[in-house]
Every structure is written in structure tokens, then in C-alpha cells.
Amino acid sequence: MKNTVFTGAGVAIITPMNNDGSINYSGFADNIEYQIQNGTDAIIVCGTTGEASTMTDEEHIECIRFCVEKVNKRVPVIAGTGSNDTRYAIELSKVAEEKGADGLLLVTPYYNKATQKGLIAHFTAIADAVNIPVILYNIPGRTGGVSFAMDTYKTLAKHKNIVAVKEASGNISYTSKLIAECGDMLDVYSGNDDIIVPMMSIGAKGVISVLSNIMPKETHEISRLCLDGDFSKASELQLKYLELINNLFIEVNPIPVKEAMNLMNMPSGSCRLPLCEMTDKNREILKNSMKQAALI
């Protein structure tokens, strides 16, 4: 049995921007502190929600370093260092380890669409190059349909550093099979806020959450209740916030969650192009669900 990186709710934290599009590190510090003070169990930096795909190498590394230093070992920091270029992913992963990250989140290669043999070679090469835990990230909706076959999971699970999966396919049946066949070697985290309770009811250890950016205490509580086996109360909370959760994805993530944070006067700013501002119609839908959740 491998060590678990974290249990509960880890926030896929946004990267706040200044008006000129540069990174707002003061606001980033405030957001990190807000997360820790409200019970977040881990911080995932430079992921999809953190807009890592628009960062320069220097920004990416500095965000990881800054987050690690600010968190100061209070919760685990997991750095997104995935790429569709294996050599680059290795280089970035080694730097993240050097800067003090407690683990890595590695997305499946996008655009060039590796075969299953290629996925095994890719993730094995990265895991061989570091000495910290690796969380695989399965999100076929963002990677041109690239997904792990079950035999690929079984092969990668044998690696001592590959310890978990962020499963964002939304496929409960597929995840059930994954946990049944690999659960003793790979921890599973929900990558979807709308199915935290169903995922944890079949054995997931928690969630890597977008919702946690604006509701860290509530997301932590949903996960805690599941870990305690109180799925009835957890389901009540899950369903209470379901409309808001859905509206946080009414446009491509992280556009809505950054708009939500702006509405709450939290450090956020706009997204970097090619992501743009929400439509007026969708902003009103989001605002209404936030009012119902008593956030504004």
C-alpha cells in the first residue's frame, strides 16, 4: 500500500491576475491563506484552473515556489507539471520537486494524442525522474479524448512514485472498475465537483475541486462527511450546491469561477486570452445561483 498524498478536498486554485495581465502575487497569498483558514486539505497549483497553459516557464516555476513558501507545510502542495512533451514535463517536474512541492499532477498528453504504450512510457519516464508522489490526471474532455485503458492503469500503478489518479471523465462505471481493480495501488480523487459524493461512496479519497475556490469550508465538509461514512448529510450538501456547481462550468473553466471570485471581491481578475469574459447572460445565471448560495 502506498502513502496517500491527502484525503478530503484539495483546491485547484486559480491564479489571480492584475489589470495588466501579470500575476497578482499579493492576491495569490491572500487566496492561499483563505483556503488554509477554511479547512482546505491540499492546494493544487498551476493546474487547469490555475491557467498554467498560458504561463511562461518562469511564471510557472515562480507560482509553484511562491505557493510552497506561503503554505509552509501546513497542507500538501501539488504542482501541475504535465505536458504533451515528455522532456519538458520531466524538466518542470524536477524543478517543482526542487522548489518543495509535495506531489505532482500530470495530465495525459494533449494534441499529439499518445497511444496506451506511449502513455506508459511518458508517465514512467517522468515518475523515474523524481522522488515525490505522482497523481495521474485523466480528463479526456480536454485532451482530445485521450484516456487511460484499465491495463495502462494497472501497469503504471506498479511504479513506486505513481500513487493516485484525478479522475475527471465523469464516468462512474469506469471509476468503479478502476477502484475495484487498482484501488489497493492507486488512490482516486474526483475531478468533478458535481459527483463528489458518488465518487467517494465507491472509494475515492476526496476531490480536486474548483468549487473550493469560493466555498472551501463547504467542500471540505462534503468530503469529511463522506470519509466519516455519513453519506446522507454529504448528499444533502452536494445537492444543495449542485446548481452553483453546474454554473461554475456554464462556460469553460476557469472563466466562471474567476468571475464568481470577482463578484465576491476576492483576488481574481480576468483570465488570460484565449479565455475571455463571460457573456452577460451567463454572468446573470451565475450571480443568481451565488445569491441562492448566500455568497453575494
For residue 269, is it within any domain? no
CATH code for the domain of 178:
3.20.20.70
For residue 204, is it within any domain? yes
**E strands, the chain, in order:** 8-12, 42-45, 77-80, 103-107, 134-138, 162-167, 187-190, 206-209
The active-site residue out of 166, 189, 205, 258 is: 166
Whether residue 194 contacts residue 172, with contact meaning beta carbons closer than 8 Å, is answered with no
174 is catalytic: no
The active-site residue out of 137, 153, 189, 241 is: 137
Model confidence at 144, in pLDDT bands (50, 70, 90)?
A: confident
Model confidence at 141, in pLDDT bands (50, 70, 90)?
A: confident
For residue 107, is it within any domain? yes
CA distance 110 to 26: 32
CA distance 163 to 35: 24
Reduce the secondary structure of 23-67 to three states and give it as a string. Answer: ECHHHHHHHHHHHHHCCCCEEEECCCCCCHHHCCHHHHHHHHHHH
Q: Is pLDDT at 201 greater than 80 in this prediction?
A: yes
Whether residue 9 contacts residue 222, with contact meaning beta carbons closer than 8 Å, is answered with yes
137 is catalytic: yes
Domain that holds residue 96: 8-228
Percent of the chain with pLDDT over 90: 96
What is the reported pLDDT for 169? 93
Whether residue 78 contacts residue 93, with contact meaning beta carbons closer than 8 Å, is answered with no
Whether residue 224 contacts residue 257, with contact meaning beta carbons closer than 8 Å, is answered with no
Instruction: State the distance between the two ends of the chain, measured CA to CA, in whole angstroms.
Output: 44
CA distance 85 to 102: 22
Radius of gyration of the chain (CA): 18
What is the value of pTM for the model shown? Answer: 0.97
Q: Is pLDDT at 213 greater than 80 in this prediction?
A: yes
Mean per-residue pLDDT over the chain, rounded: 97
Q: Is pLDDT at 74 greater than 80 in this prediction?
A: yes
Range 75-104 average pLDDT = 98
Q: Is pLDDT at 127 greater than 90 in this prediction?
A: yes
pLDDT digits (tens, 9 = 90+) for 148-197: 999 999 999 999 999 999 999 999 999 999 999 998 999 999 999 999 99
Range 202-206 average pLDDT = 98
pLDDT digits (tens, 9 = 90+) for 223-274: 999 999 999 999 999 999 999 999 999 999 999 999 999 999 999 999 999 9
CA distance 66 to 27: 12
Q: Is pLDDT at 1 greater than 80 in this prediction?
A: no
For residue 73, is it within any domain? yes
For residue 233, is it within any domain? no
pLDDT digits (tens, 9 = 90+) for 27-37: 999 999 999 99
What is the reported pLDDT for 143? 85
Phi–psi pair at 244, nearest 5 degrees? -65, -45
CA distance 203 to 165: 12
CA distance 197 to 250: 21
For residue 271, is it within any domain? no
What is the reported pLDDT for 145? 86
For residue 293, is it within any domain? no
- How many domains in the chain? 1
